[in-house]
A and B are shown apart, each in its own frame.
Chain A
Amino acid sequence: MIELKNLQKTFDNGATYAVANTSFSVEKGELLGLIGESGSGKTTTLKMINRLEEPSSGEVYVNGQNVLASNPEELRRNIGYVFQGIGLFPHYTVAENVAAVPQLLGWDDNRVKLRCQETLKMVGLPVEEYGARYSSQLSGGQQQRVGVARALASEPDVILMDEPFGALDPITRAELQEEFKRIQTNLNLTVIIVTHDMTEALLMADRIAVMKDGEVLQIGTPQELLNKPEHEYVKKMVDMPKRRADRLEKLVHSS
C-alpha cells in the first residue's frame, strides 16, 4: 500500500507550490486514478513516490516503509514504473528492456529469462516472436505493452503509471486499459495511474483523486464522483463523459 502524508513540493523556495499539503492512501490491490489537467501537480505527486522528485516536505510510505529513508535507486527498482512517452531503451531489444530491472536487482540469468518469458506472455507479446526486436520495429501499442512488461518484471506489488496510454490510438488504448486492469486484478497490484482522461479513470480506477493547482479536491469511487461531486470543477470533469455516454445510449436505442 501507498500512503502520502502532507506531501508538498515547491520549485521556487516556497513562493508557489506545485503540490500542496497532499495526503491520501492507496490500499493493497487498489487502483487509484490521479486525474487533473497539466500543471495540476499529478505527475509531480507520482514522481515523489519513487523519489524521481524529492518532496519539499511531508512523508511517503510504500508498504509501510518510509521512502525518504531508503536508497532511491533500490526503491525505484522495487516499484514498477510505466513512463509517459513509453521510455524504452532504443538500443536494447524487447527482451533486454524487460530484463533491465531484474538484472539491476542481481537476479541470476535463468530467473531473468523465465521472468521475461512470463511477463511478455502476460502482455501478449510472446518472447519467441518479439524478444529479439528493437522498439523501433514495434507499433506504439506494442511498445507500451513492453513498457508494462518492464514495469512488472521485478515482481513489484506497487506500480506507478504516468499517462501510460496517452499517446495511443483509441482502439489500442481501450484494449490496453482492459488488459492492464485484468493483470492488475489477477496479481492484486497496488497501482496509481496518472491521467487527464476522465473516461479512462472512471473505467479503470477503484478510486479517483481529482487534483487542481497542486491540491486534491476530492477523492472517491467513480460512483461517488459521478453522483456526488463536491466541487464545481469535479462536476465539470465528470459531466463530459456522462453526457457522451447518454448521447451514445440514445443513438443506440434510436436505431
Chain B
Amino acid sequence: MSDNLREQLVLLPDYFQGHLLLTLISLSLGIIISIPLGVWAAQSKIVKRPLLTAVSIIQTFPSVAILAMVVALLGGQIGLVPAIIALVLYSMLPIVRNTVTGLETVADEVVEAARGIGMSSNQILTKVRLPLALPVIIAGIRTAAVWTVGVATLSTLVGATSFGNYIFTGLQTSNLVSVTVGSLAAALMAIVLDSIIGGIQWLTEQRNQKSSTRKFKQVKFIVITAVLLGGSFSAYSLLPEPKADFVIGGKAYTEQYIIAGLLATELEAAGFTVDQRIGMGTEVLYTATANGTVDVYLEYTGTVWANIMNNSHNPGRKVVLESVTDFVKGKDGMINVGTLGFQNRYALAMRKDRAQELGIVSIEDMIPLADGLIAAGDLEFFGRLEWITLRDTYNIDFAEKLTFDSTLMYTAVNEGQVDLITAYTSDGRVAAFDLQIIEDPRNSMLPYDSFLLASSRAAENNRFVEIMQTLVNQISDLEMREANRLVDVEGRSVSDAIAYLQTIIHE
C-alpha cells in the first residue's frame, strides 16, 4: 500500500462518521417534515400546488448555493447545523411528492369501504391510506437518501466533515488517490443505504403475501439490524466530543491547506488541541471568524480590501495593509496577528530565456514591445480591476489577450505559445516552470499580503498569539512557491510541504 493511500485511510473513520451522521440526521428530519407536508398537500388542493412548486424550486437551486444561503441566513454559522438544514431542504422533494402520489393512488373503492364501515377521516388516513401508500412513500425516501449522501459531500464547503473533505482536498492538491477514496466511499455509502431502504420497501410491498416466507424473515432481520446499528451509531456520534482549543479555517486550495496544516502543527506542538475546517469560501470563513466559530485562517490583504471592503482603487501595499488591519478590528473585533511575508497577488510572468532575449525586467521595459507580445490570462484577469489599473498605469496593451484555464495558461507560456501570462506570485508552477516574475515598479497590481486573521477570542490568548508570531514574516514568495510546487507539481503530500516550511521557520 502506498504511503499516500495509507495517509488517506487514516482519515476514513472520521470522515465516515461525519458523512453518515450528516446523512442520517438530515434524512430523518427530512422524513419527519416531508411526510406530514405531503399528507397536508394530499388533503388540500390549495396547499398542494404551491407546496410542490416550492419544494421543486428548492431542488433546482444548485446545492452549493443553498448551502451558502443557509450559512448567510444563520449569520455566518458554519458546521453541522447549516449543512443539515441545506440537506433537509434538498431531501424534501422526493418524499413530499411520493407521499402525495401514494395517498392519491389508493383505490377509491377501498377509501369508500373505509367510510362505509364508519371510519372517521383521520382513521381512514392512518389505518388505510397511509399504510397503503407506504411502499410509494418509502420509494421517495430511497431517492432522497441517495441524493443526500451525494450532496453531503458538499458540506465540507461550510465546514462540516464529510467524504467531501477527501474530494475537495484531493482536487485542490492534485491528489487523485484522495479524490478516489472520497468518491468511492460516498458511492458505497449510497449503495448500502439504497439497499437497506430498498429492503424496507420490499418488506412493505410483500407484507400482504409473503410475510411468512423464509426470505421475508431474513430480509426483515437484516433491515432491523441495519436500522438499529445506524440509530445507535448516530446517538453515539452525537455525544458531545471534547471541544478543540482552536479551530483553524482554510479556503479550498493548496496554499491554504499547507498553511492551515502548519498552524495546526505549531499549535499542537505547544500542547493545544485543534480542529481543521478547510475548503470554505472567503465569505463563509470571514463571517465564521468574525462570530468566533473559526479562530484563525490565512487571509490576504487584497481580498479583504476588494471583496469585503468593496474598494476599487489601489493606494499601495502599506496603506492597504493598515486599512485592512483597522477594518477587521473595528468592524468585527478580529485581529491581524501578522503577515507571513509572502504575497499571493497577480503578476506578469515570462519564461526566463524569453525575458532575457527581449531585455525585460520590469513592466516599464515592456511598453515599447507590447504591440508584439501575446498575453494569456486566467479566466478572470482581463475582467478584473488589476488589468484596468495595469493598462492605465503603464498605458500598455498587448497584441493579443487570450483567456485560459490556469493550468493551460502555464503550459502555454512554458511551450512558448504565448509570451507572458498573469501568474500568481506564490504559485508553485512559477517555480516549476522556472518563470520570471516581471517587476511592477509603479505598483499597479493590488497587493495581496498574506496574514493570519484571528478571532477576538483566540487573540486574547497570549500563548496563542506568541506561537502565531513566531511565523510572522518567515515565509518569502520563493519559499511559499516551493512549498506549493512540492504538492501541486511533484505530487508530494501536504505534510511534506509543511515539514519543508518548518525547517525554514525553525532553522
Contact = CB atoms under 8 A, between A and B. Distances in A.
Interface of A: 50, 52, 73-78, 81, 83-91, 100-101, 104, 134, 136-137, 150
B208 A73 contact: no
A137 B209 contact: yes
Nearest to A105: B118
B209 A100 contact: no
20 contacts: A50-B116, A52-B112, A52-B115, A75-B118, A81-B116, A83-B112, A83-B113, A83-B116, A84-B109, A87-B116, A88-B113, A89-B113, A90-B208, A91-B128, A91-B131, A101-B118, A104-B119, A134-B208, A134-B209, A137-B209
B496 to A, nearest CB: 62
Contacts of A100: 117
A83 B123 CA distance: 19
A88 B128 CA distance: 11
Nearest to A81: B116
B110 A89 contact: yes
A76 B208 CA distance: 27
B497 interface: no
Contacts, number: 56
A87 B118 contact: no
Contacts of B132: 90-91
Nearest to B208: A134
A75 B117 CA distance: 9
B116 A76 contact: yes
Interface string B86-123: 00000000000000000000000110111111111001
A87 B128 CA distance: 12
A180 B111 CA distance: 25
B207 interface: yes
A52 B110 contact: no
A76 B115 contact: yes
Contacts of B118: 73-78, 101, 104
Contacts of A73: 118-120
Contacts of B123: 104
A87 B112 contact: yes
B209 A85 contact: no
A85 to B, nearest CB: 5
A136 B112 CA distance: 19
A101 B208 contact: no
A87 to B, nearest CB: 3
Query: Which 8 pairs show the lowest CB-CB distances between chains A and B?
Result: A87-B113, A77-B118, A76-B118, A134-B208, A81-B116, A73-B118, A91-B131, A85-B109
Main SS class of interface, B: helix
Nearest to B134: A91
A125 to B, nearest CB: 17
B109 A87 contact: yes
**Among B118, B132, B208, B209: residue with most chain A CB under 10 A:** B118
Contacts of A81: 116-117
Contacts of B208: 90-91, 134, 136
A188 to B, nearest CB: 22
Which size bracket describes the interface of B in this complex?
Answer: 10 to 19
A73 B122 CA distance: 12
A86 B117 CA distance: 12
A77 B118 CA distance: 5
A204 B119 CA distance: 30
A79 to B, nearest CB: 8
A136 B128 CA distance: 16
A101 B119 CA distance: 8
A81 B131 CA distance: 23
A83 B109 contact: yes
A84 B109 CA distance: 8
B299 to A, nearest CB: 60
A137 B120 CA distance: 28
Nearest to B120: A73
A87 B110 contact: yes
A89 B116 contact: no
Contacts of A86: 109
Contact of B128 (A52, A77, A89): A89
A158 to B, nearest CB: 13
A38 B166 CA distance: 69
Contacts of A85: 109
A76 to B, nearest CB: 4
Contacts of A83: 109, 112-113, 116
A150 B207 contact: no
Contacts of A50: 116
Given A104-B123, A134-B208, A136-B208, A90 B110 contact: yes
A150 B118 CA distance: 12
A87 B119 CA distance: 14
Given A83-B109, A90-B132, A134-B208, A150 B117 contact: yes
B115 to A, nearest CB: 6
Contacts of A76: 115-118
A75 B209 CA distance: 33
Nearest to A85: B109
Nearest to B132: A91
B120 to A, nearest CB: 5
Contacts of A52: 112, 115-116
Contacts of A90: 110, 132, 208
Contacts of B209: 134, 136-137
A83 B112 CA distance: 9
Interface string B246-262: 00000000000000000
B105 to A, nearest CB: 13
Interface string B194-231: 00000000000001110000000000000000000000
Nearest to A47: B116
A85 B115 CA distance: 15
Given A91-B132, A134-B209, A104 B112 contact: no
A76 B119 CA distance: 8
A104 B119 CA distance: 7
